[in-house]
Amino acid sequence: MMECYYDLNQKKNFQKLFGDLWIGRHPTKNANRFMTLKLDFSKIGGTGEELERAFEQHISDALEAFVNRYPICYDANFISDFKNRPIDSKFASTIYEAREKDIPVYLFIDEYDNFTNQMIRATGVKDYRDITHGAGFYRNWFKKFKGDFDRILMMGVSPVTMDDLTSGFNIAANLTLEPDFNAALGFSEAEVLKMYTDFKGTGRFTRGEPAEIVSSIRPWYDGYCFAEQKVGRECVFNSDMTLYHLKHLVHTGEPPRNMVDANVRTDYEKLKTIADLQRTVLRLEPQDALPMTEQAVVAGGVQFPLVDSFPAEAIIKPANFHSLFFYYGLLSMTGRRMGATVFGVPNACVEMQIFSFLREMYFPPTKDWLEWDSAARAFAYQGAWREFLSLVAKNFEETTPIRGGIGGEVRLQGYFQCEMRHLPQFIVCPELELAHGNCDFFLFPERTYYADVPHSYIVEFKHARKGTKKTELDAQRAEGLRQLATYAKDRKVPVLAKGTTLHLILVQYRGSTMVNCELVDEKAY
């Protein structure tokens, strides 16, 4: 979009592209004024000299396409001599001709930090430092960019690479946290509602009220906020996921069975990147690498000072490392508490990616999932709660040594959330407010595809340290019984459990071992 707006070659198409939009009715003086050069660093890979060659080849190819696109600046004689020049000469002559003809050039760089992030992930900081500091080729190219282009727009994932380049490229402004750009790359709820309203009646999308559909996808795709000044006032939907859902409605007349688009599931790699960074930089084992994510999904939010710029060598500082979760889109600004920003998982789509990753981290590769699937179906359709929860308890106890001995209630809650979230038959609501309290888990049928599930559950967990005496366990049990009885009286319960038998289950743990699992009550609704 930016390229089309600024490219002088697109002047004839300006009305077609922008005429009915606000920016088309209020064009700036720079509209269609520039020659535009676009670089995409996601296409570059390799290490050492191979990486430098691939980088320069990409720039060379982009420059050749560039001079051929603008005969207004580069004539046939220039182009015939251009191909045989070395890369430095190609770049210098291209800029020189543009300067001579007084035509400004706009540089667009997509995924400017793609291969540097991969480099840190694979080998740690040293090789990365070699290209971004001193006489490193990447740093030197950015020095050239700084002096030779009229405008530059760079897009990437994190501010790490930018910080390491700033002493040579010290004119950059980070727009990520600016309130004016908070909603630039997402859809507001009003925009989503307008889209669904406009497309209603298109293809097979003939059923359902747009407002109700938007309400149903809000928990999955909404929730992104990038500026502190906008917290609680403006959040946006993930544009890719929203369009994925809308396209499915138009093509099939039904919502997608899997609410997470496979294209976005590649963001799973971001979690692996964080784990690998911790492995290479912090020297942690991969299975112990995501306490921040577990804390966020269990506690509903975490707090830390957001850092807008830091070098790769400072990744090991907690504030910097925690900030990566925000820049990778795994956490977003969700509220304020005691004068500071709260960061939480923005929506169920991201939550599913996190739990899929944690599931892989929690369980050994030799695990038999057929046994788990069979127990899960019996849990949903036959009310076999004891068998399923006992299997989950067995799995948790087996994986505790794999998790480096890290235990406690947060780990237990995170583990069980991971297990519960992979039950497709249920909507899982952790920490649901019932009767002025918060139950650990409320599971009721996912009625779009599993309307025939006849059971629902409220599960309350109690955790005690290893070695806790029976008298304390008995006191915890009494508290759990009281809480479950109170939860069952909430007026939301009959609505959520409608058409099912609701089971009230108390589970008690001492250390990593389940010591009690009992049915407290059950009732048909």
Indicate the residue type of 52: E
* Predicted pLDDT of residue 230: 94
152-172 per-position pLDDT tens digit: 998 887 776 666 665 545 667
Fold of the domain built from segment(s) 34-172: Rossmann fold (3.40.50)
- In 2-150 the beta strands, taken as DSSP E runs, fall at 35-40, 105-110
Q: Model's pTM, two decimal places?
A: 0.74
* Predicted pLDDT of residue 404: 40
Backbone angles phi, psi at 415, to 5 degrees: -60, -50
Closest among 508, 388, 521 to 460, alpha carbons compared? 508
420-439 per-position pLDDT tens digit: 888 889 988 888 888 888 89
Whole-number Å distance between alpha carbons of 298 and 499:
29
Whole-number Å distance between alpha carbons of 52 and 140:
12
Q: In the chain, which residues fall in CATH 3.40.50?
A: 34-172
Residue 115 pLDDT > 70: no
Closest among 427, 431, 428 to 439, alpha carbons compared? 431
Across the chain, mean pLDDT equals 84
Q: Is residue 435 a contact partner of residue 487, using CB atoms and an 8 Å limit? A: yes
pLDDT-wise least confident of 87-91, 275-279, 362-366 = 362-366
pLDDT-wise least confident of 122-131, 193-202, 217-226, 253-262 = 122-131
* Predicted pLDDT of residue 405: 39
Sign for the CA dihedral angle at 160, 238, 274, 413 comes to positive
- In 304-436 the beta strands, taken as DSSP E runs, fall at 332-337, 340-344, 426-434
For the segment 334-363, the average pLDDT, to the nearest whole number, is 81
Q: Are strands 35-40 and 105-110 parallel, antiparallel or unpaired?
A: parallel
